[in-house]
Amino acid sequence: MDVDAVNKFSSLHAKPNGLILQYGTAGFRTKAYHLDHVMYRMGLLAVLRSKQTKSTIGVMVTASHNPEEDNGVKLIDPLGEMLAPSWEEHATHLANAEEQDIQAVLAEISHREAVNLQQKAMIVIGRDTRPSSEKLSQSVIDGVSVLGGQYHDYGLVTTPQLHYLVCCQNTNGQYGKATIEGYYQKLSKAFVELTKQTFRSGDEYRALKIDCASGIGALKLKEMECYLPRELSLHLFNDGTKGKLNHLCGADFVKSHQKPPLGIEVKPNERCCSFDGDADRIIYYYNDADGRFHLIDGDKIATLISSFLKELLSEVGENLKIGIVQTAYANGSSTRYLEEVMKVPVHFTKTGVKHLHHKAQEFDIGIYFEANGHGTVLFSKAAEMKIRQLAKEETDGKKRKAAVMLENVIDLINQTVGDAISDMLLIEAILALKGLSVQQWDAIYTDLPNRQLKVKVADRQVIDTTDAERRAVTPLGLQEVIDDLVKKYRFSRAFVRPSGTEDVVRVYAEADSQGSKELNLGVISSACS
């Protein structure tokens, strides 16, 4: 390790006095002007992680659905998964270290993780379209270079695309070709194969309006359009040519405000969707004939996909175990429908995609979508091998057809992480194959009225939770207040949980009517503050 070089560059990427940051599910996120030192140090850390795993590691510069003036960074582990928890701790320690301690912290990490400093390191880097992202990416490159790591800067990519590229690099192309073109080719081929009989049979011209949150999704969809069949007509709005990233648009805005984004006219019964700024979330919606807005969030996406896969598995005749993973934010109607109508087991985890992803890996086919639209489908290696074998060798025509369709789903889904583009293509394929309109999809079950808000508090850590964050342990008496409230209303449910990044408490309530839910929220918010 060239101590002089590390120290020299550390002084060029100085840490602001008093700034303390925590690496969480979303990596580091804050105002862009606070992040130069963090980016440099994550370049350093990525090199150590690459040396330790003897694999390519990804570094993505993005703040996803956050406002344009924010930015962030996350590291991507060898198979496209999120950074291992022990290395999250290293990231936090390194980011908050004083300048004079950088070399010592790097040495400590190297010792604790048995890093061979002579091992070669390869880092791939991507960024979103924020004005600050290019400069911050260069800070990452400085960190990679000073420790002698090699790097490939992919420039503007969606977060899921960088996850895909990392996985491809580390599986020697078994997951796919490690280029953006390879990503387009893999997904589009699977989509075409999955839908070719439907489109050939004269299915109507399928138009979809997409709000791209003025982010990277628009650029990548434009590049991908030539790979997709003309029967799928994509109309892009908030494409980045004007307007600020995520401002009054995008999946988070639509979900939180439960209304269409600015910049898109939603005509009656038109099928529309919104991405977020880095294209790893997707939300559908439409206006009915009376102009009433209908949101189709991650819960209904999970229900549509799980129903489709269960039908195919039934036709194949294989006893593969499906599991649905939800968080406390999942609408109660979705949970009841999945368990009581579809007879599919539902499991709950803490909020945060890393918790859902980990739980979903316990099943042959694990399906998770947060209510905000971030999610995917995971096929175990054993299940994938079985399905591909059946697609190749099954002699029964009906079973083989179902197995081939499942194989196409495997290729269409970006299993490394939630991906708005691949999720959109799977949803569009299922709707076409089942002949469902957006209204029919929405009518599968009726969401309970729900609302969530943030309560500013002096110390969010006074609230501790259990049961996948659905019950409060401390402060004493808070859960009893919630229990007394919810028992007064039909299908009422509420919970509070501390934010992972802000000094706020998040409050959620749902009930059988809007008035009941509003009363729950008001009283619970007062109890929290």
Domains 183-294 and 450-528 fall in the same CATH topology? no
Instruction: Pick the catalytic residue from 64, 133, 214, 333.
Output: 64
Interatomic CA distance for residues 317 and 298, integer angstroms: 28
Low-confidence ranges of the chain (pLDDT < 70): 1, 199-205, 501-502, 514-529
Asked whether 486 and 450 are in contact (CB, 8 A), the reply is no
**Residue 139 is among the residues annotated as catalytic for this protein:** no
In this prediction, residue 227 carries a pLDDT of: 96
Ordered DSSP codes for 377-441 = EEE-HHHHHHHHHHHHH--SHHHHHHHHHHHHHHHHS-TTS--HHHHHHHHHHHHHHHT--HHHH
- Rounded CA separation 80/95 (Å): 23
9-31 pLDDT tens trace: 888 999 998 899 999 888 999 99
Residues at the binding site for substrate are 370-372, 497-501, 506
Alpha-carbon distance 32 to 68, whole Å?
A: 9
* Dist. CA 67–CA 215, nearest whole Å: 11
Is the entire prediction scored with pTM above 0.85? yes
- Could you give the C-alpha distances from 511 to 249, 294, 402, 494, in angstroms and in order? 27, 18, 39, 9
Domain 3-156 of CATH type 3.40.50.720: no
Which alpha helices (H) appear in 282-414, and where do they start and end? 298-316, 332-336, 353-360, 381-393, 397-412
Question: Taking the alpha carbons of 64, 67, 68, 69 in that order, is the dihedral positive or negative?
Answer: negative
Which helix H or strand E contains 513, and what residues bound it? none
pLDDT score recorded for residue 503: 74
List the binding residues.
64, 276, 278, 280, 370-372, 497-501, 506
Fold of the domain spanning 183-294: Alpha-D-Glucose-1,6-Bisphosphate; Chain A, domain 3 (3.40.120)
Task: Retrieve residue 391's tokens.
Answer: 């697609």
Chain mean position to CA 355: 12
Angle at the Cα of 515 from the Cα atoms of 487 and 348, rounded to 5 degrees: 50
**Which residues are annotated as part of the binding site for Mg(2+)?**
64, 276, 278, 280
Please give the CATH topology (third level) of the domain spanning 450-528. TATA-Binding Protein (3.30.310)
Q: Indicate the domain borders of the chain.
A: 3-156, 183-294, 298-419, 450-528
The vertex-415 CA angle with 361 and 182, nearest 5°, equals 155
Name every residue whose Cβ is closer than 8 Å to that of residue 90 and which is 6 or more positions away in sequence. 45, 48, 109, 113
User: CATH number of the domain at 298-419, out of 2.60.40, 2.30.280, 3.40.120, 1.10.10?
Assistant: 3.40.120
